Each structure stands twice: as structure tokens, then as C-alpha cells.
Amino acid sequence: MMQDQAYQVFAAQQANRGINLEDVKSKLKAFRVETPSWGYADQGTRFKTFKKAGVPRDPFEKLEDAAQVHRFTGICPSVALHIPWDKVEDYVALKTHAAALGLSIGAVNPNLFQEDEYMLGSVTNSNPSIRKKATDHLLECVEIAKTLGSNVLSLWFADGTNYPGQANIRRRVQWMHECLREMYAAMTPEMRMLIEYKFYEPAFYHTDLADWGMAFNMAGKLGPQAEVLVDTGHHAMGTNIEHIVAYLLGEKRLGGFHFNSRKYGDDDLIVGSINPYELFLIFYQILDAARDSDAGVRRTAENIAYMIDQSHNIEQKIPAMIRSVMNVQTQYAKALLVNHEEVKAAQDKQDVLAAENAVRSAFELNVTPLLSAVREEMGLSPDPMTAYLQSGYGEKILARGVGGASW
């Protein structure tokens, strides 16, 4: 079937289901996904980093690769940075370079896990001079964000202990709060602090911010500009992530996502490659909250920072990022096709099977004709992956050689 014909059939089906397709298309055009600078670099596990030819050698080249993802998907105009992985002499020059590529700088991620002093903790270290060093770095990142025009600071702490009795757990939380309070006070009113949690790694006995509840509590103690960041790879097996998402939306504290997938114990697989239904259900909860009668809940749902957090160890990095973005976009498109009135009617009747069917049936739709139409209306190829692979960019960057940035 011709693409146009496939779209006409799809549009007729959706009209029958009571879906306003023009509204769905405009939401798809407005949707934005941020990619991480470190996703373009050479990365590995603690066992091995495989060095690839063509990997960017500095933050400027990372932005050039990110610009390719935006060029072919049309929905990735911002790039998250990690400091000091992306430390440069001149941040204005970096910002100017980004703008020339049609990009802006997104979240600034301080890094408190790669210096020897942080072995026993950064903001939770019992040594006050190490806590001061960590706080100074957080404050430095606020200043960098100001220079770059970024309003999002994403915090993840590797802090934790490996043995019972190693440290005073309650005291560590207080120290963290003291450090973050200083950082919070330095932020402009437009800035948001997104607090990420992870239930293990690199610490194996306890992690200071191990789950959403601890991050939520810390955000609450800091103030309204602090919110929770849900990294989809940071949960125990079987955790109902969409439940956490719904809860945080209800509390108006969901700030953003780090999308990725995991099967066992790491978080670097391409988002949507393992459990696309989970991703769909996350978007279903968000879109449901966007219809809430509480304006605060609606605003929270609309302000979510959607970011990818992946390190591509064995796969080609730019195509891996394009695949990730397309997977996110596909599940978002499907969630936009949920008929919420139908779900609500079934809920009101306490008809469990009808309610479940109203949600799942949207997931089962083929949205390829819809996404092709949207991309064409945005002036893009309907097939971003093939368009990128045929562009010659992947071959051109081979001239960079082997030995690019390792973060």
C-alpha cells in the first residue's frame, strides 16, 4: 500500500475510535527528547571499553554528532552535558557552536563519582573538606548552566557504603541535604534541580538515594524547584515504574526521565528494546495527568524533561541514538492514541477488562503511517535511520580515527 493510502486508512480508523488526529500530530511535532553528550563517546563496562573509529574527540564534536540525530529525527534540539567530561575553557564558545548547529544545551550533570576523594562519598562524606569540594563543584555547575543558558541541573550520586557499620546512614542524608541546600540557594528562579535515584551500584550495601521515595523526600526538603528524575534503568526487577510516575505526577514532583533499558543489572541498553509496553504505559500515565483537573498536575506533566541516558558499548553510537529516539517517539505516539474517555467510562462502570482493553488496544496499533506523515509534514524523511545511514556522515567521521573521548 502507498504511504498516503496507508495514512488515509489509519486516519479513518482513528476517526472511528474517536481520536482527534490533528491534535495527535501537533503533539508529536511539539515533542522533544534530549540526547546525552556521553552517549556519543566511547564507553564501556568496568571490564572493557571498546574503542571505535569516528568517535568525537571533544565536546564540540559530540555536539556535531548530536546535531545529526536532530537533523534526521527533528525532535532532539538539546544536548545534556556532564561536567567535567564536557569541561571546556570557553563555555560561551560551546554554546555558540551548539547554536550554529541548531542545538541548545540541556541539562547540566555534575559529576561527583570519578575523583579519588569521593571513594567513601561526595556530599555524604564524613570529611567536611571533601563535602566542601563536592559542594563547590555543584556550585560551579550552577554557574556553567547560567553561562550555557540551561535551566536544568541533573544530580546523580554514587554515594553509598559497601558494609554494615561502614558509616552513619542518617548523618549522611543530613550532610547531603546541607550541600544541596547551598546549591539550591544558588539557582536562578527559572532553574530546576532534578534528583535521580538508583538502588545499587557502585555501592553494594546501601545507596544514599536508593529509590524514588528518598529522592522525593530530598526534593521536598529543598523546595519547589527540586523534583525527581526517574531513570528507567534504576529499579529492581519487576518494579512498576509507571506507578512511580503516576504517584510523582500526583505529588507534582516528577521533573524528568533518563530513558534506557536494562535486562539484568545495568542501564545502558537502547530504550524500548526490552520492554516497549512499559514505556507506553509511562506515557499513558503522563498523558492522563495532562488531563487532570488540578492545574499543578497538568503543569508538571507538561514540563517533564525527556532525556536519554545511554552509553553505547557495542553498537554504533549515532544510529543507536536515532533508534532510541524513534522508539520513544513510537511509544509516545501510541499513548496519544489512547481514548481516555473510553478508559474513564470503563473505570466508572468498574469494568476491569474493558478498561484494560481501552489502554492496551492503543499499544497494539501500527503507528508507522502516522509517524511517516508527521515526519513528512516536518520536512523530514519518513525513515530517519535509513536517511542517516545513506547520508555519508558515518563514513565522514571515520577521519577522526580511533581514540575519541571516553565519556
- Total residues at interface with Mn ion (CB under 5 A): 3
In 3D space, the residue among 1, 32, 25 whose CA is nearest the CA of residue 337 turns out to be: 25
Nearer to ligand PSV, 209 or 365 (CB): 209
- Residue 309 interacting with Mn ion (CB under 5 A): yes
- Residue 231 interacting with ligand PSV (CB under 6 A): yes
- Residue 258 interacting with ligand PSV (CB under 6 A): yes
Task: Give the shortest CB-267-to-Mn ion separation in angstroms.
Answer: 7
- Residue 196 interacting with ligand PSV (CB under 6 A): yes
* CB atoms inside a 10 Å sphere around CB 181: 14
In 3D space, the residue among 314, 324, 323, 322 whose CA is nearest the CA of residue 51 turns out to be: 314
Answer for the pair 30, 378: CB distance below 8 angstroms, yes or no.
no
Nearer to Mn ion, 118 or 157 (CB): 157
Answer for the pair 253, 227: CB distance below 8 angstroms, yes or no.
yes
- Residue 38 interacting with ligand PSV (CB under 6 A): yes
Task: Give the shortest CB-102-to-ligand PSV separation in angstroms.
Answer: 25
- Residue 306 interacting with ligand PSV (CB under 6 A): no
- Pairwise CA distance, residues 306 & 328, whole Å: 9
Nearer to ligand PSV, 207 or 330 (CB): 207
Nearer to ligand PSV, 241 or 343 (CB): 241
Task: Give the shortest CB-283-to-ligand PSV separation in angstroms.
Answer: 20
Cell triple for 238: 519487576
- Pairwise CA distance, residues 247 & 50, whole Å: 40
Measured in degrees and rounded to the nearest 5, phi and psi for residue 286 equal -65, -45
Nearer to ligand PSV, 209 or 336 (CB): 209
Name the closest residue to Mn ion (Cβ).
Answer: 258
State the binding partner of 86 from Mn ion, ligand PSV, none, CB within 5 to 8 A by kind: none
SS3 at position 207: strand
Of the residues 35, 37, 109, 285, which one makes contact with ligand PSV according to CB under 6 A: 109
Q: How far is CA 59 from the centre of its chain?
A: 19
Nearer to ligand PSV, 393 or 407 (CB): 407
Q: Transcribe 123-154 into DSSP letters.
A: TT-SSHHHHHHHHHHHHHHHHHHHHHT--EEE
Task: Give the shortest CB-230-to-Mn ion separation in angstroms.
Answer: 9
- Residue 159 interacting with ligand PSV (CB under 6 A): no
Task: Give the shortest CB-186-to-ligand PSV separation in angstroms.
Answer: 20
CA distances from 211 to 228, 230, 233, 268, 320 (A): 10, 9, 12, 19, 28
- Residue 62 interacting with ligand PSV (CB under 6 A): no
Q: What residues have CB less than 8 Å from 18, skipping those under 6 apart?
A: 339, 341, 342
Cα–Cα–Cα angle for 89, 93, 95, rounded to 5 degrees: 115
In 3D space, the residue among 227, 219, 194, 113 whose CA is nearest the CA of residue 160 turns out to be: 113
Nearer to ligand PSV, 21 or 271 (CB): 271
- Residue 156 interacting with ligand PSV (CB under 6 A): yes
State the binding partner of 198 from Mn ion, ligand PSV, none, CB within 5 to 8 A by kind: ligand PSV
Task: Give the shortest CB-346-to-Mn ion separation in angstroms.
Answer: 36
- Tell me 270's DSSP state: P
- Residue 288 interacting with Mn ion (CB under 5 A): no
Answer for the pair 37, 66: CB distance below 8 angstroms, yes or no.
yes
Binding site for Mn ion (CB under 5 A): 231, 258, 309
Binding site for ligand PSV (CB under 6 A): 38, 109, 156, 196, 198, 231, 258, 267, 309, 311
